[in-house]
């Protein structure tokens, strides 16, 4: 449900997707990939296409941004100095 509630304010621009991308980007994309078969079956069983609609929307936008393919912070910034 966390990702469902995050996707809704990103859509109208209340929360910048760049912020969400840094906070939960790769995790959200990977969770969605794993959960999609289950969500699809729930949608079919209940005839309810809106189940987890904002989670799907968010994960697809984050994937469009390449969040799931870039280097993670611990690798990307391993030489960072304060």
- Asked, for residue 55, whether it belongs to a domain, the answer is yes
pLDDT at site 67: 59
- Asked, for residue 23, whether it belongs to a domain, the answer is yes
- Asked, for residue 79, whether it belongs to a domain, the answer is no
Q: How far apart are CA 82 and CA 79, in angstroms?
A: 10
pLDDT at site 45: 97
Q: How far apart are CA 10 and CA 18, in angstroms?
A: 10
- Asked, for residue 42, whether it belongs to a domain, the answer is yes
Q: In total, how many domains does the chain have?
A: 1
pLDDT at site 34: 96
Domain that holds residue 7: 2-73
- Asked, for residue 80, whether it belongs to a domain, the answer is no
- Asked, for residue 25, whether it belongs to a domain, the answer is yes
- Asked, for residue 53, whether it belongs to a domain, the answer is yes
DSSP assignment of the chain, as one string? -HHHHHHHHHTTTSS-HHHHHHHHHHHHHHHHHHHHHHHHHHHHHHT-TTTTHHHHHHHHHHHHTTTTTSPPHHHHTTT---
Q: What's this model's pTM, rounded to 2 decimal places?
A: 0.78
Q: What is the pLDDT along the chain (82 residues), one digit of tens a residue?
A: 888 889 889 999 999 998 998 888 888 999 999 999 999 999 999 999 999 999 999 999 998 887 555 666 777 766 776 6
- Asked, for residue 82, whether it belongs to a domain, the answer is no
Write the CB contacts of 51 (distance below 8 Å, at least 6 apart in sequence): 39, 42, 43
């Amino acid at each position: 449900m966390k990702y469902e509630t995050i996707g809704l304010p990103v859509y109208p621009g209340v929360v910048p997707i760049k912020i969400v991308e840094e906070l939960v980007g790769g995790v959200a994309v990977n969770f969605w990939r794993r959960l999609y078969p289950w969500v699809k079956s729930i949608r079919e069983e209940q005839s309810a296409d809106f189940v987890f609609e904002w989670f799907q929307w968010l994960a697809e936008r984050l994937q469009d941004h390449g969040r799931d393919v870039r280097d993670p912070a611990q690798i990307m910034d391993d030489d960072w100095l304060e």
